[in-house]
Amino acid sequence: MTINASDVKLLKSQRLTDEDDGGGRATGTPVVDGEVNNLFSDISRLDRTLGRINLRKGFAGVLTDNADAYLGAHCILTQAPADPRVSVLLFNTGSQIDERTAARSNIENYVVPATAAPFELLGNQLAGQRSITGVQREEHRIPEVGEVYQLVNGTASQYVRVASVEATVENFIYEYSSGQYLTLPRRRLQLGIGSALLATYPGGSVNPAGTTATNAASQPKASVLSTQVADAAKYYGISPLAEAVAQGDLTLKVASVYAPLVPSTVKETALLDQLAGYRRRQYLACGAARAPALSFALVVSGQSRAFLGTGALPGSVTLTINAGVYSDNGKGEFTFVSGSNTFSKITVDYATGQLDAYKATAYTGAASVGYTPATAVSGETVTGEIAVTLASRGYVYTLDLAGAKPKPGTLTVSYLALGNWQELSDAGNGELGGQGSGTVDFASGSVSLTLAALPDVGSAIVYSYVGDNAEAYTQRTGAGTAAKARIRHRLPHDGIQPGSLTASYLVGGVTKTITDTGSGTLSGQASGTIVYATGELDMELTATPDSGSSINYSYQQGSVADQVLSVSPDSAGTVSGTLPGAPLKPGSVRMSWSVLRRQAVPASGSATSYDQTVVLDRSAADDGAGGWVGVTGSIDYSTGAFTLRVEESYAYKEYTYKQTGVFPLVKTERSSTTTSLQEQFGGTLLARAQPAGVGYGTQSDSQSVPPLTFELLPNVDEPIVPGSLILAWGGDTYVDRDGVLYKGINSSTNAGSAVGTVDYAGGTATLSVYPGGKTPGVDVQACLTSNSGFAVVDATFRTPGAPLRPASLQLTAVRTDTAETVTATADTNGNFSGPTIWGTVDVETGIVRLKFTADPNDGSGLSDIPVIPALLRYNAVLYSSLPLNADLIGLDPVRLPADGRVPIYREGDVLVIHHTAETTVASPVAGTTETLARQQQAAIEVVAASGVALDPAQYSVDRELGTVAWANPLILQDASGNPLGLPLTIRDRVEHMAVCSEVQISGALGIGAPLPWDLPAGETQVSSAVAWGDLQARLHTWYTQKTWNSGAPNWTDSPSGESTTSNYNSLNYPPVVTNKGAIAGKWALVFTGTTTFNVVEEKLGVISTGTTGSDCAPINPATGAPYFTILAAGWGSGWAAGNAVRFNTDSCLGPLWIVRTVLSGQGTVEDDQFKLQIRGDAD
């Protein structure tokens, strides 16, 4: 008996509903071809308004009274619904018995939990909220609109999709010991979410490691997990050809590689004040290696803690604790090196220097450590892209960043795959991780990328990083800094008489005296200067005063006169003029003025460098002998005539470049040379002096416990980087924390004594509390200074989400050369058209490419306009999906693609390219033959004017020759005998099956075998196939068990316990199964006596009884055929109650889930339909 076309059926499942138990097992009821609502119910008005997802389960296969194989079984959609707002998809879970709940879970597993999210919850997030508050370190990636995260709190969990993002950097106060506080800069996140929270999720408060383990009510904080696309369900559908194809083609293009799965409504989300190419923070060494002694204290059972006292450079920490040696891996965790490994985990917080050691038993005790102190700094992001073309598309790419090498831990690479942005990032150890892998050679700037998926043609691989700019930060340590401890004071009077000042102070109870030499300098127990005109003192004492003592001053003072003079310098930078009021008192004159200096700004991505000017204040006092202190020139006290050099030479660092490449992939190699330039005088002098006959009176002043100022960098104009300063003075170590100097840091608590402040811009530190009797020398053990940064003339970045609303992107930039703010808005075509900002934005992908120039056609670089990258910002409007009620639409949309679409073609899928042509026959003649325009058809059918198929007995077809022969006589009727009218239409379909070799987001598909026909666009369809392979009823996995446990039955495929000595002779009396009766099931024949048994199925329970004396053939009520037949002649003897025979059966059915998606909107077809075809081969 063979398999005929009429034996191939699509069977209904148990329940054709959208309830949780919809689906289930196969019934024996076939789906009637062409019958209205044979699978799906009508579409309601509410469905049309909100959208709806309906799931129906069917079974495709063969119902025959034999077990012949249905070879290569598969199913395709051959006709999509005519209504454009209705979509049909197929998918297969592989289960013969699953219900809608399981199918829904399979669909919603589009995203699954991955690693910990880059933020934590800040405070409690209450049920009903439509936003969540998070906190993260500044160096962590900001969540993007459209991303999905999972909140987990005990047994409660919920997936949330980010609908909006607000990020602000704030300082959080952390009390690490009683009355001891740290200021922790962190980024606060306000994340709008599409659906309200269904439960309360506790969050912690900020601490150095992240957030506390519990909230204020001591409830454990909830976890936040990022998600990754698992895309567990594969979907199959149909799409028309977008372009005609020719015979022999191996590529074709469909209208879309996606089909709607979830109804979604688009909403607009504003992106405000976004950084273009976000800034990242990295750790820089600020001094030589340190080795402080540590003492670990117990935090809680199993966790001990100590502090380095400063930040640490990733990868530099070596810890010796409890006879074990450990080194950090650059990612915040330690690896065991040698000795005894008694700790399960040791971690380090590089920003604060906090060490946490975890051990099964409590540990307290000493430890030794070596590390390089470091501080976190913000760098400027360098951006670029690699265009993805059909020729360059691949999995492996390289970047040559030799011109501006990346800082460790700053490189991120984004690429677009099937419309979704994927990201790789450098953890700081030279390895790229994320959606792919790669390596970074920081020495050469070479980067290797291996992507997890092929990037989309027409997109770009976008990268950004912080350049390793050697000029950006300078380490200033050791004796070369010439740091000194000084006391500065300004007397309450101007016009001090030269030589009249005396001062005294106590050191160890002994009086020390300072005298004024009369020439503007000090002698005795201090060196330094006095400016007579202003009363300013700058003293370096031989030893610091006793604690609680004062410095007492006595001096003579007279009146002064101020004058403003307008003068011009000569070519040597010297001005001359006459002070009024002569004759003048020697030593009483002071001149003040300002000068301008040029300062070069190194550029990124350009062949030029850019200048800016800085204003510096200068002053000079006369030396009492007709000269100036520290400045060239002279003064005649009798006439007031003077000369003064107001313009000095200074070292100017100039940058030169060698540049190759074409925008935007410009490679720049930078070098610098230092030349001598002359300052530019501001044009006016402010003069202060006393006449020669001025009268003086005695004055006094007292300075109680004077603050001590460390002049750290007397020869450096660059500011100190916060958090980088470590000083050694007077036997103590001083550490900078947010502008406050601490000493005596306790390694167990991180507490110290606040004793002073730091002036980052002035390069000084001031102690308000200090010991007496200490010498002025200061050892700067760690310090970083920064220069003015760099500028860019081009930029490439992507927005956090896409697509964008056309003409919504607004850019703001600040010019480096003029500080002018410039703006631009993209037009509806995505173009920026100057006058300063030029470029494009791809609204579909969010990729922005910019050039800052006065003339975009000038390739010389002379028209380029530098801008400050840190101030390049934009606003835009992002299209995002409006979440719909999961209960109403039938699926939870949060875990599905944001735009509701899923791919229906994948590499390795079976594709069927098919085209149906129609030939109208107005008056068919009985007994004649119609010859069609083509041959080798896959199918030919005849339909009447009503669309109802003509009875197949009224014609015969030859598909090889492409002919239709009419019967004689010819009766115009359908298969049921109902009359049909003319004209008749012959529909013939040609098709080509091939393996999909490539899928591109543009709709381009590659196939493994060339097309045999020319096929038109629009009419030709491309279907992806659900494939089951060979289907055939069979009985297998037969074994016996001596004992059957009804309370815990063994449904595995291996026996539990002993087998029986009795058996069944399956060799000579094989059990019989048929395609019509067999199901996919697990069976047990459980003996109740020596010859009687119950027939049990895993899911159906006891369905029948039997004896060894007669054939056992329980009937499948769905088809009326036996599930199987066990022949009586095959039974051996010796069976006993409790014995069992186990076996499995397979059906000749392939399970199939069909999804009907109704998009929100007005329907256009009253009675719609889709067609699917069950396909296979048989002898």
Query: Which pLDDT value is given to residue 763?
Result: 85
**Contacts by 476-479 with C-beta closer than 8 Å and gap 24+?**
476/712, 476/713, 476/716, 476/780, 476/783, 476/784, 476/785, 477/287, 477/288, 477/780, 477/781, 477/782, 477/783, 478/779, 478/780, 479/779
Are 451 and 386 found together in one domain? yes
Query: Which pLDDT value is given to residue 1016?
Result: 95
Report the alpha-carbon distance of residue 23 to residue 104 in Å, rounded: 11
Sheet with 1171-1177, side-by-side order of all strands:
1026-1031, 70-79, 1171-1177
Q: Give the CA radius of gyration of the chain.
A: 43
What pLDDT digit, counting tens, does each position of 847-890 carry? 899 999 999 888 777 888 888 776 788 999 888 766 566 777 77
267 φ, ψ (degrees, to nearest 5): -125, 165
Are 803 and 780 found together in one domain? no
CATH number of the domain at 433, please: 2.60.40.3410
Tokens 């006793």 label which residue? Answer: 546
Query: Which pLDDT value is given to residue 773?
Result: 85
- HSE-CB for 287 with a 13 A CA cutoff: 27
784's CB contacts (< 8 A; 6+ apart) are 284, 286, 375, 377, 473, 474, 475, 476, 720, 721, 724
CATH number of the domain at 116, please: 2.40.30
DSSP 104: H
Cα angle for residues 1034, 1036, 1038 (degrees, 5° grid):
145
Q: Is residue 626 part of a domain?
A: yes
Instruction: State the residue range of the domain holding 294.
Output: 288-372
Query: Which pLDDT value is given to residue 606?
Result: 41
Residue type, 353: G
Cα angle for residues 931, 937, 938 (degrees, 5° grid):
145
Are 999 and 1042 found together in one domain? no
Tokens representing residue 590 in the block: 């002071």
**Contacts by 918-925 with C-beta closer than 8 Å and gap 24+?**
918/985, 918/986, 918/987, 919/985, 919/986, 919/988, 920/983, 920/984, 920/985, 920/986, 921/983, 921/984, 921/985, 921/986, 922/982, 922/983, 923/982, 923/983, 924/966, 924/970, 924/982, 924/984, 925/966, 925/970
Are 132 and 179 found together in one domain? yes
**Of 120, 140, 84, 103, which is closest to residue 20 (Cα–Cα)?**
103
Are 566 and 685 found together in one domain? yes
Q: Is residue 46 part of a domain?
A: yes
Are 607 and 651 found together in one domain? yes
Instruction: Using the 3D structure, point to which of 321, 346, 372 is the last residue of a domain.
Output: 372
User: 106 by DSSP, 3-state: which?
Assistant: helix
Q: Yes or no: say if 1041 and 1142 are a contact pair by the CB < 8 Å rule.
A: yes
Q: Do strands 603-604 and 791-792 pair parallel, antiparallel, or not at all (unpaired)? A: parallel
Are 567 and 672 found together in one domain? yes
Are 554 and 565 found together in one domain? no
Q: Is residue 572 part of a domain?
A: yes
Are 1041 and 1132 found together in one domain? yes
Instruction: Using the 3D structure, point to which of 1025, 1049, 1067 is the last residue of a domain.
Output: 1025
Q: Is residue 246 part of a domain?
A: no
Tokens representing residue 1141 in the block: 């025979």
Are 621 and 716 found together in one domain? no
Report the alpha-carbon distance of residue 430 to residue 603 in Å, rounded: 25
Report the alpha-carbon distance of residue 276 to residue 274 in Å, rounded: 6
* Domain total in the chain: 9
384's CB contacts (< 8 A; 6+ apart) are 399, 462, 463, 464, 605, 664, 665, 796
DSSP 546: P
Are 26 and 91 found together in one domain? yes
Residue type, 244: A
Alpha-carbon dihedral angle through residues 140, 143, 144, 145, given to the nearest 10 degrees:
-170
**Which runs of consecutive H residues, i.e. helices, occur in 460-523?**
none
**Which runs of consecutive H residues, i.e. helices, occur in 785-902?**
886-889
Q: Is residue 1020 part of a domain?
A: yes
**Of 1071, 1082, 1081, 1086, which is closest to residue 1041 (Cα–Cα)?**
1086
pTM (predicted TM-score): 0.63
Q: Is residue 759 part of a domain?
A: yes
Are 593 and 671 found together in one domain? yes
Q: Is residue 258 part of a domain?
A: no
Tokens 């005695």 label which residue? Answer: 698
Q: Is residue 91 part of a domain?
A: yes
Mean pLDDT per block of 10 residues along the chain (1179 residues) reads: 85 94 94 89 89 93 94 96 94 93 87 88 92 89 87 90 85 80 86 88 90 90 88 88 95 93 78 70 86 91 91 94 93 91 91 89 92 81 82 87 80 84 84 88 88 85 78 74 77 90 91 90 90 88 87 91 91 93 90 84 46 77 89 94 93 56 45 77 92 89 85 80 88 88 91 88 86 86 76 83 87 77 89 92 89 87 79 84 69 78 92 95 95 92 91 94 95 92 95 93 91 94 96 96 95 94 95 96 97 96 96 95 97 96 97 93 86 91
Tokens representing residue 748 in the block: 């167990």
Report the alpha-carbon distance of residue 1022 to residue 912 in Å, rounded: 6
Q: Yes or no: say if 813 and 867 are a contact pair by the CB < 8 Å rule.
A: yes
Could you tell me where the beta strands, DSSP code E, fall in 467-549? 473-475, 484-490, 502-507, 510-516, 521-524, 526-531, 536-541
